[in-house]
Amino acid sequence: MTHATANKPAWTRKHLLSINELSAEEILYLLDTAESFKEVSTRSVKKVPALRGRVVVTAFFEDSTRTRMSFTLAAQRLSADILDFSAKISSTSKGESLRDTARNIEAMGVDIMVVRHSAAGAPQNLTEVVDCCIINAGDGQHSHPTQGLLDLFTIRERKGRIAGLNVAIVGDIAHSRVARSDLRGLVKLGANVTLVGPPTLVPRSFEQLGARVTSHFDEILPEMDVINMLRIQQERITSSVFPSIREYIRLFGMNAERLKRCKPDVLIMHPGPVNRGKELAADVADGPNSSILRQVTNGLAVRMATLFLCQQAAMA
Amino acid sequence: MTHATANKPAWTRKHLLSINELSAEEILYLLDTAESFKEVSTRSVKKVPALRGRVVVTAFFEDSTRTRMSFTLAAQRLSADILDFSAKISSTSKGESLRDTARNIEAMGVDIMVVRHSAAGAPQNLTEVVDCCIINAGDGQHSHPTQGLLDLFTIRERKGRIAGLNVAIVGDIAHSRVARSDLRGLVKLGANVTLVGPPTLVPRSFEQLGARVTSHFDEILPEMDVINMLRIQQERITSSVFPSIREYIRLFGMNAERLKRCKPDVLIMHPGPVNRGKELAADVADGPNSSILRQVTNGLAVRMATLFLCQQAAMA
Amino acid sequence: MTHATANKPAWTRKHLLSINELSAEEILYLLDTAESFKEVSTRSVKKVPALRGRVVVTAFFEDSTRTRMSFTLAAQRLSADILDFSAKISSTSKGESLRDTARNIEAMGVDIMVVRHSAAGAPQNLTEVVDCCIINAGDGQHSHPTQGLLDLFTIRERKGRIAGLNVAIVGDIAHSRVARSDLRGLVKLGANVTLVGPPTLVPRSFEQLGARVTSHFDEILPEMDVINMLRIQQERITSSVFPSIREYIRLFGMNAERLKRCKPDVLIMHPGPVNRGKELAADVADGPNSSILRQVTNGLAVRMATLFLCQQAAMA
């Protein structure tokens, strides 16, 4: 926790809405906090009392078992009380009623609401009507900040740094909140980001965010330190210019052959769940370059840090 | 906790089935207990060990996310272990099988069963076959005692008393367990209750329970201290004498115009969720006279008191 | 805990996959441990800190509310953190993807995974890819070890011993994992097991496992100490040689008349839920010979022992 100064606390946000809003210093402070929480997970009693008596509600208006489990386990490890609010989209997807729902949940004494919603901006929207902490667990194609932070954490853990690294993100960038969150965080921390995919899915406009854009995967392989493979959304691929998934995989899939052309210590990432044999070959996914399960493990630490820091800021 | 005497404990019930069965003294004792629990919710660690090691099962045979959440949070705050039993109606709605289900759940070491069921009398029925505490969380059109109690709590909190107040309940009284529970409690504590709605939905027979019955909402507005607006069940309204919802709202909806004709400190209540712009205009729902979110908050304290007192009585 | 020796711990398994793999000594050690845990359930604070800070995930790929509740309550009583993973069969039933799911769950820091799956061998399969404890909560028609163990526990509790007892298991043996688990455990502990049912549902091949096979229920009634009635799966019965359920019940149902021909202290068991009036008459199910609810209660103690011993072995 080396990034705080005597005069100003290093983290003052009670909400985490996107990586865009964070400074490089804030990101690093959160990663450092996550590192100290990761140690907790190695103990025999994997709990700290940091959020004892606090109430965390997971409000997932869009399904995501894995992310919800990760937040739940993170909250349990901080000794919080946790409750899941599984909403039927029908009754809550419209603006006013989502706000009503959130205000009702908050009135039950909730301290932190972890929100996933298909509408970009929904978590931000809720901060206008509730006082409790809002953590964005994915909103439309906009942002998925804890995924971005756990990817940064994993890269730093494996590579020792982020600044100066060459990082590729491969796939359907245009529709991916993971890609957006990773890109923002990586650029802030000084990595060189290359976005790879067919032009329909990786528009040139992303260059304005500080990335290089290319559709020639094979050309950039040798120079990459990290390659993050996005999950194929089959319906999106086939509705683009591509004749078939098979053709897409031929151009943009990661496999043993392509891995040979990479640096020996290249880090292969994937936000999960993997379509084995499609964007990522099974042997690469399970091989020594892969960080897929480590990303899952680190997600817990990053989410513990997020819950803890936001709650601390809310009390300050 | 001022209502206990040296000779007789103030609360001896291990079940809470309806407000009908409670004496005014018992109601006030429960409200006092809830008041002391409400203080717990203002602490930074919002927990007391009162039910540590006790097991509470929420057995909701009819869906109700909000009430279930409120009971769950109340039980967590008392340090109980909580488990949800989400039954498919098909396999459990028939008499014998519901009893079997309850006896099986109890055999797992359950101390308190919070039951919601579409059949009036189902919770009462279960007290004949299990030894654990049964808390009625709403049974058909019969009773919803914790809703009634949280409404009484909120009125007392905002008005300082209940006896002598003029309270209107507006809407589909005939089919509402909330109206029945509120009416019983208010009459027991000395309030003057007026039931308001179209004659098809507010039968004269309710006068036998001590209420005044009227279909002229506008006439009674000026004298009311409290107005409790019931949620419109659209299908019920249109199957009654009314040509349309619009016509119903014109006669029985609460809005800014009607609010002007009320006492300045009139309390506007609603059991939630609100149909904004229908039975209740949005500006009134969010205005200073509204107690909607406070009702939600108080529900937690009332349910903590209910779980605590019934469990205490079961152990005595 | 009398079965441990100085040189070798009495329980060294971190997984519980089936009763087949257990020695008589191991079974008895687990039953003894369960007995000591049963005492915990009689305390006012029904908790021990044995699994504090440990994470138990119930991964039920086939629905079973009761078994899941029992495991959850057992884990709560051991102070573990518990999370349910309710998987949609579609996305996880295929080999590789089930393995991926399990590895992802484990990567979140899970210590014990309680797995139910429609495919025989699925839990065993998972032990090849994860390091955490795997507890089989029922896999296809293969095994349901904790049900077998709780049946053994209940018989020993009521009869004082298992060796030498005459035990009948009645019904659709061929398709029942409960029957298989009970049979294996009973034979290991020296009981004389008779399997009863129509030849299509009780193949002669079961004799190789040490059981007697018969289709004459009435003949064996007088000599039995324990009769375990399996639940009728209606579709299975009618697709066999039987003209009707009624005919099946006439030959293989337990009722007051048949009970009269049994020993006065015969123990009538059923894994639940009972089809009252079908395989088991209501008066027998609720009568003094029945151990149905006691089986449910004992299930908790047996599952506490299972979770505790496997976790201990994993740490050793």
Residues A124 and A173 reside in one and the same domain? no
The chains in contact with chain A, meaning 3 or more Cβ pairs closer than 8 Å, are: B, C
**ipTM score for this prediction:** 0.92
Local structure of C224: helix, strand or coil: coil
Q: How far apart are CA C88 and CA B301, in angstroms?
A: 37
Task: Give the closest-approach CA distance of C163 to chain A in angstroms.
Answer: 40
Q: Are B248 and B198 in contact (CB under 8 A)?
A: yes
Residues B157 and B68 reside in one and the same domain? no
Taking only Cα atoms into account, the Rg of chain C, rounded to an integer number of angstroms, comes to 19
Neighbours of C130 (CB within 10 A): 18
The single-letter DSSP state of residue A116 is: E
Q: Are B61 and B98 in contact (CB under 8 A)?
A: yes
Phi and psi of B169, rounded to 5°? Answer: -120, 125
Residue in A45, A272, A297 nearest the CB of C109: A297
Domain count, chain B: 2
Task: Give the closest-approach CA distance of B168 to chain A in angstroms.
Answer: 24
Mean pLDDT per 10-residue section of chain A, whose length is 316 residues: 60 97 97 95 88 96 90 97 75 62 94 96 96 97 97 98 98 95 98 96 95 98 98 74 83 97 98 93 97 97 98 94
Interface test with C, best of A43, A284, A293, A304 (most C CBs within 10 A): A293
Question: What digits encode the pLDDT tens for the residues B130-174?
Answer: 999 999 999 999 999 999 999 999 999 999 999 999 999 999 999
Task: Give the closest-approach CA distance of A96 to chain C in angstroms.
Answer: 31
Q: Which residues of C touch B104 (CB under 8 A)?
A: 66, 272-273, 293, 296
Please confirm, yes or no, whether C270 is among the known catalytic residues.
no
C6 domain residue, yes or no: no
Structure confidence at residue B88 (pLDDT): 58
Q: Which residues of C touch A47 (CB under 8 A)?
A: 52-53, 81
Would you report the helix, strand and coil content of chain B in percent, each value rounded to 5? 45, 15, 40
Please confirm, yes or no, whether A67 is among the known catalytic residues.
yes
Strand ranges (E), B91-222: 112-117, 133-139, 166-170, 192-196, 212-214
* Backbone region of residue B210 per phi and psi (left: phi > 0; alpha: psi in -120 to 50; beta: other values): left
Half-sphere exposure of A43 (CA within 13 A, CB side): 13
β-pair partners for B193: B167
Inspect the interface and report whether the beta carbons of C109 and A47 lie closer than 8 Å: no
Q: Which residues of C touch A282 (CB under 8 A)?
A: 96
Q: How far apart are CA A156 and CA A191, in angstroms?
A: 11
Question: Which two tokens mark A16?
Answer: 């985490």
Would you report the helix, strand and coil content of chain C in percent, each value rounded to 5? 45, 15, 40
User: Considering only CB atoms, which residues of chain A are within 8 Å of chain C?
Assistant: 41, 43-47, 65-66, 69-70, 72-73, 76-77, 272-274, 276, 282, 293-294, 296-297, 299-300
Distances (CA, A) of A62 to A90, A115, A119, A137, A271: 11, 9, 9, 10, 17
A276 domain residue, yes or no: yes
Question: What digits encode the pLDDT tens for the residues C266-313?
Answer: 999 999 999 999 999 999 999 999 999 999 999 999 999 999 999 999
Residues A152 and A126 reside in one and the same domain? no
- Which domain range does residue A78 map to? 24-143+297-315
Inspect the interface and report whether the beta carbons of B55 and C76 lie closer than 8 Å: yes
Inspect the interface and report whether the beta carbons of A55 and B46 lie closer than 8 Å: yes
Residues C165 and C76 reside in one and the same domain? no
Closest CA to B104 of A291, C199, C292: C292
Q: How far apart are CA B151 and CA B168, in angstroms?
A: 13
Half-sphere exposure of B62 (CA within 13 A, CB side): 15
Phi and psi of A167, rounded to 5°? Answer: -120, 125
β-pair partners for A269: A228
B186 domain residue, yes or no: yes
Four-point Cα dihedral C115, C119, C123, C129, nearest 10: -120
Which of the residues B52, B66, B246, B261 is marked catalytic? B66
Inspect the interface and report whether the beta carbons of A273 and C83 lie closer than 8 Å: no
Q: In what order do the strands lie in the sheet with A55-60?
A: A81-86, A55-60, A112-117, A133-139
Question: What digits encode the pLDDT tens for the residues C68-105?
Answer: 999 999 999 999 999 998 765 444 444 458 899 999 99
Q: How far apart are CA C315 and CA B61, in angstroms?
A: 41
Please confirm, yes or no, whether B175 is among the known catalytic residues.
no
Neighbours of A74 (CB within 10 A): 29
Structure confidence at residue B96 (pLDDT): 53
Residue with tokens 């099962």, as numbered in its chain: B57
Task: Find the angle CA(B271)-CA(B273)-CA(B277) to the nearest 5 degrees.
Answer: 105
Q: Are C80 and C54 in contact (CB under 8 A)?
A: yes
Structure confidence at residue C245 (pLDDT): 86
Residues C29 and C74 reside in one and the same domain? yes
Q: Are A163 and A189 in contact (CB under 8 A)?
A: yes
Q: How far apart are CA A214 and CA A217, in angstroms?
A: 7
Which of the residues C33, C67, C127, C194 is marked catalytic? C67
Residues A304 and A273 reside in one and the same domain? no
Residues A286 and A152 reside in one and the same domain? yes
- Which residues fall within 8 angstroms of residue B49, CB to CB, at 6 or more apart? B78, B79
Strand ranges (E), B30-152: 55-60, 81-86, 112-117, 133-139
A4 domain residue, yes or no: no
State if pTM tops 0.80.
Answer: yes
Which of the residues A15, A38, A54, A144 is marked catalytic? A144
Max CA pair span of chain A = 59
Q: Which residues of B touch A86 (CB under 8 A)?
A: 65
Task: Give the closest-approach CA distance of B45 to chain C in angstroms.
Answer: 19
Residues B161 and B106 reside in one and the same domain? no
Tell me the H-state helices in chain C.
24-40, 65-77, 89-92, 95-107, 122-127, 145-159, 177-188, 217-220, 234-238, 245-252, 256-260, 282-285, 292-315
B19 domain residue, yes or no: no
Question: Which two tokens mark A77?
Answer: 């490890």
User: Considering only CB atoms, which residues of chain B are within 8 Å of chain A?
Assistant: 41, 43-47, 65-66, 69-70, 72-73, 76-77, 272-274, 276, 282, 293-294, 296-297, 299-300
- Which residues fall within 8 angstroms of residue C169, CB to CB, at 6 or more apart? C179, C182, C183, C193, C194, C195, C196, C228, C230
Task: Give the closest-approach CA distance of B107 to chain C in angstroms.
Answer: 5
Inspect the interface and report whether the beta carbons of B69 and A81 lie closer than 8 Å: no
Which of the residues B77, B116, B258, B278 is marked catalytic? B116
Question: Which two tokens mark A184?
Answer: 């923002």
Q: What confidence tier does B78 reach under pLDDT thresholds 50, 70, 90?
A: very high
Please confirm, yes or no, whether B116 is among the known catalytic residues.
yes
> What's the CATH code of the domain at B118?
3.40.50.1370
Interface test with B, best of C47, C270, C280 (most B CBs within 10 A): C47
Which of the residues A77, A116, A142, A177 is marked catalytic? A116
Residues A165 and A266 reside in one and the same domain? yes
Task: Give the closest-approach CA distance of A44 to chain B in angstroms.
Answer: 22
The single-letter DSSP state of residue B269 is: E
Interface test with A, best of B69, B71, B280, B297 (most A CBs within 10 A): B69
Residue in B53, B83, B101 nearest the CB of C46: B53
Going residue by residue through chain C, which has 316 residues, state the pLDDT in tens, using 9 for 90 and above: 444 455 677 899 999 999 999 999 999 999 999 999 998 888 878 899 999 999 999 999 988 889 999 999 999 999 999 999 876 544 444 445 889 999 999 999 999 999 999 999 999 999 999 999 999 999 999 999 999 999 999 999 999 999 999 999 999 999 999 999 999 999 999 999 999 999 989 999 999 999 999 999 999 999 999 999 999 887 776 666 677 888 899 999 999 999 999 999 999 999 999 999 999 999 999 999 999 999 999 999 999 999 999 999 999 8
Q: Which residues of B touch C294 (CB under 8 A)?
A: 107
Which own/partner contact pairs does B28-33 have at CB distance under 8 Å and 24+ positions apart?
A: B28/B3, B28/B189, B29/B1, B29/B3, B29/B4, B29/B309, B30/B149, B30/B302, B30/B305, B30/B306, B30/B309, B31/B149, B31/B152, B31/B153, B31/B156, B31/B302, B31/B305, B32/B1, B32/B2, B32/B3, B33/B1, B33/B305, B33/B308, B33/B309
Structure confidence at residue B91 (pLDDT): 47
Residues B37 and B88 reside in one and the same domain? yes
**Closest C-chain CA to A77:** C53
Please confirm, yes or no, whether B260 is among the known catalytic residues.
no
Q: How far apart are CA C191 and CA C162, in angstroms?
A: 6
Residue with tokens 């942002």, as numbered in its chain: A143
Inspect the interface and report whether the beta carbons of B41 and A104 lie closer than 8 Å: no
Residues A221 and A255 reside in one and the same domain? yes
Phi and psi of A180, rounded to 5°? Answer: -60, -45
Closest CA to B71 of B127, B150, B128, B18: B150
Q: Which residues of B touch A105 (CB under 8 A)?
A: 69
Q: How far apart are CA A255 and CA C153, in angstroms?
A: 53
Q: Which residues of C touch A65 (CB under 8 A)?
A: 85-87
Q: What confidence tier does B90 reach under pLDDT thresholds 50, 70, 90?
A: very low
Q: Which residues of A touch B73 (CB under 8 A)?
A: 55, 81, 83, 108-109
Question: Which two tokens mark C200?
Answer: 């299509």
CA B281 remoteness from chain centre: 22
Q: How far apart are CA B37 and CA B26, in angstroms?
A: 17
B208: burial class by Cβ within 10 Å (0-12, 13-18, 19+)? exposed
Which of the residues C144, C180, C184, C188 is marked catalytic? C144
C11 domain residue, yes or no: no
Q: Which amino acid is at C130?
A: V
Q: Which residues of A touch B294 (CB under 8 A)?
A: 107
Closest CA to C12 of C182, C183, C186, C133: C133
Q: Are B82 and B76 in contact (CB under 8 A)?
A: yes
Distances (CA, A) of B104 to A192, B112, B140, C32, C226: 61, 13, 23, 24, 21
Closest CA to B89 of B127, B63, B113, B109: B63
**Closest C-chain CA to A291:** C107
Residues C136 and C230 reside in one and the same domain? no
CA B196 remoteness from chain centre: 19
A16 domain residue, yes or no: no
Q: How far apart are CA C207 and CA B95, in angstroms?
A: 41
Q: How far apart are CA A214 and CA A223, in angstroms?
A: 14
Which of the residues C46, C47, C52, C66 is marked catalytic? C66
Give the helix/strand (H/E) hosting C268: strand C267-269
B254 domain residue, yes or no: yes
Residue in A100, A108, A315 nearest the CB of B73: A108
